[in-house]
Amino acid sequence: MKTALPVSGLIDEWVRIPLTDGRSLSARLWRPANSARIPAILDIAPYRAFDIFRPVGEPLFSWWAAQGYAVLAIDTSGAGGSTGLLLDEYLPQEIDDAVAAVNWAAAQSWCDGGVGLSGLSWAAFTGLRAAGRAPQALKAMVLGGVSEDGWTTDVQNLGGATYAARVDWAGVMLMFNALPPDPKQFGVGWRDAWMERLKANRPWIIPWLSHPTRDSYWQAKAAPVSGTVPLLLYSGWADKYATSVLRIAASWKGPIRTIIGPWEHAVPTSATRGPQIGFLQEALRWWDRWLKGRDTGVMDDPKLRIWVAQPDRNGALEQGRWQGMSWPMETSQTLQLRFGSGSMALKPNPKAPLKLDEDLYEDAPGPWPAAGALLGPVADAGLDVVAAPVMRCRLRSDRAGGLLVARLLDIAPDGQAVRMSTAALNLAFHDGSGLDAPPAAGEWIEVALPFQATAWHLAAGHRIGLTVSAEGWPTFWPGRLGATLRLDKASLTLDIPVGAPNPKTLPPFAAPVTAPGAIVGPPKWLDPTRETLLSTGLANASAWAPAAASYHLAATGTDYHRASRFELALADGGRQGAAAKVARVAFERPGWSVGVATRLIVRSTPAAFRIEWTLRAFENGAIVFEHSDAELFPRSAV
């Protein structure tokens, strides 16, 4: 349970960071109310520091400020109170802006010239890429849930196989990019800025899907991983970014330490999957060492601190232990399993989602059918599976392409199975280049299929199971060609990295602390029952609808309502997919009533993708902007 510690003596103000082309970034600044020059910590993201992100960021950033830092929560250009337009993720302008913000902060009278970059997810992606520009003032980073290569690790692909969740995420950003700046923060011209954002708003899934290979579009967004800025990395085993975090940690040239816990895609102080840790204190040790020159002992910590979980029958990760180890691993062994002889046919046969909310992103372990699994031997003693197992096999496809999806299972003595990790490969990218090079129909090829990283204690009496298939619905989009694969079982091996026999068990982390957050209460004026979602028209769809949020934020004097639904459906006998994301957001206070409704629908055929979208904006109950459009483009590789 985290403790909210009171914070006093802080200056809390909104500032504007000017950019050379006339745009400006809106930022909330916390700093101690004294004249000392201190280091600055920046978090840059498009999630609206003034309102939507306020309850999330406030308890974290003000706590660091109370420890002697100037902390800024900055809106990405085109988001929240910042001017300009946000047209896609991690474009050069966004990274230029981040470097400009670092330089601006370093030059302020309250800053001693040293700057750190902080953040989870988007802010971490931005920070890692800004570090590649090597701004002189950047002295340290604390980044979580991050990838250096969006094509390889993100909501985009796994092994070149398209995540269905791409549509969900694209729909989220279609909604965010439709929101108006708040006139209380933005001032005169807020409505003109809103109309500009609405007119420029186009689904990002269009460039994502129209660039199926790791071409110049994706390469331009990638970050170098040989940086020298001191870097504290973190992620969780229930978060798909644990794999990329380990990849970055293995390549980074500067001082680096990494923490991976049982968490989902969340800050470790507030993750729903425990145990939570005193993450703010860990980050403070890093900031103090590299921004204030204090010996906090951080470099005495193991290079990698991981939570080795012993999951229960539902895949919960709360039971386990903290372990310290080198990274890359210096002492480990590989257990190799084989699965017999002969061959097996893998036919695409998508099933309706069982639990769409759990399997959509397939980051978290969970129950999985053991029927049809290839079985390894029973473990005589417990062993720790650490890092990324690799499956190797020889196979062929009856068409020039296809999907290969595998799940690694922990099977208990009574047959109950839990999914440990997932792997996928689009055979068009089987050579590992990320470029379109499908094997010819009937050609035998050898593939190496890395699983997502894990740290998992396999209990004595349990056995490892392996399921392989030619589809992965609902996590992965149906393959373009509906190919049937034939796998040579004699060539099928599973290499499992096993942890050191005498690991260094670590003491528990400190208990979580935060500062008090924004005061949130029930709505005063907004009626949530009147805020309805647009219809998608998808037949026989499975839906995932996160709980709607309706609340009053005292700091802005405004009611807020957010609701969304994601739908997935199969067509053409299960060979083709359709997905839709609809969202509704409303802001309400006396004198200001605005809202947006968005809809994104993606359908595929073997030959093409069709993208349809609708934007509606409301002011005082009347529609002030409405636009619907569609785009069709050829489908290749995915």
Residue 23 lies in a domain: yes
Helices (H) then strands (E): counts for the chain = 11, 35
What phi, psi does 343 have (nearest 5°)? -140, 165
How far is it between the farthest Cα atoms of the chain? Answer: 76
Q: What is the pLDDT of residue 5?
A: 60
Reported as a pLDDT band with limits 50, 70 and 90, residue 218 is: very high
Residue 514 lies in a domain: no
**Domain span at 228:** 3-148+223-325
Question: Are 479 and 365 in the same domain?
Answer: yes
Q: Which of 111, 99, 109 is nearest to 138 (CA)?
A: 99
Assess whether pLDDT exceeds 90 at residue 620: yes
Question: Are 319 and 359 in the same domain?
Answer: no
CB 430 within 8 A of CB 437: yes
Residue 511 lies in a domain: no
Please give the structure tokens belonging to residue 541.
Answer: 């769809």
Please give the structure tokens belonging to residue 578.
Answer: 């359709």
Q: Which DSSP string corresponds to 444-492?
A: -EEEEEEPPPEEEEE-TT-EEEEEEES--TTTBPPPSS---EEEEEEEE
Question: Are 218 and 342 in the same domain?
Answer: no
Question: Are 467 and 595 in the same domain?
Answer: no
C-alpha to C-alpha distance for 5 and 3, rounded to whole angstroms: 6
Domain boundary among 309, 325, 341: 325
Residue 350 lies in a domain: yes
Q: What is the pLDDT of residue 320?
A: 92
C-alpha to C-alpha distance for 503 and 246, rounded to whole angstroms: 18
Residue 153 lies in a domain: no
CB 182 within 8 A of CB 54: no
In sequence order, what are the beta bridge partners of 50? none
Question: Are 627 and 539 in the same domain?
Answer: yes
User: What is the tally of structural domains in the chain?
Assistant: 3
Domain boundary among 325, 347, 376: 325
Residue 52: give its domain's CATH number: 3.40.50.1820
Residue 262 lies in a domain: yes
Domain boundary among 464, 499, 534: 499
* 571-598: average pLDDT: 93
Question: Are 313 and 352 in the same domain?
Answer: no
CB 89 within 8 A of CB 208: no
pLDDT digits (tens, 9 = 90+) for 98-125: 999 999 999 999 999 999 999 999 999 9
C-alpha to C-alpha distance for 408 and 421, rounded to whole angstroms: 5
Q: What is the pLDDT of residue 359?
A: 65
Question: Are 36 and 87 in the same domain?
Answer: yes
Question: Are 295 and 388 in the same domain?
Answer: no
Please give the structure tokens belonging to residue 157.
Answer: 């692909």
- Does residue 18 or residue 272 have the better pLDDT? 18
Please give the structure tokens belonging to residue 103.
Answer: 């330089």
Please give the structure tokens belonging to residue 338.
Answer: 């084989």
Question: Are 307 and 260 in the same domain?
Answer: yes
Residue 506 lies in a domain: no
pLDDT digits (tens, 9 = 90+) for 492-526: 999 999 986 556 678 889 999 989 889 999 999 99
Residue 371: give its domain's CATH number: 2.60.120.260
Q: Does a cis peptide bond (omega within 30 degrees of 0) precede residue 512?
A: no
pTM: 0.95
Question: Are 530 and 463 in the same domain?
Answer: no
Distances, alpha carbon 303 to alpha carbons 121, 143, 234, 625, in Å: 22, 15, 12, 53
Q: Which of 457, 315, 465 is nearest to 386 (CA)?
A: 457
Question: Are 421 and 488 in the same domain?
Answer: yes
DSSP state of 299: G
Mean model confidence pLDDT for the chain: 92
Question: Are 25 and 131 in the same domain?
Answer: yes
* 39-61: average pLDDT: 96
Q: Does a cis peptide bond (omega within 30 degrees of 0) precede residue 255?
A: no
Kind and range of the H or E run holding 614: strand 608-619
Residue 507 lies in a domain: no
The amino acid present at 32, given as its one-letter code, is P
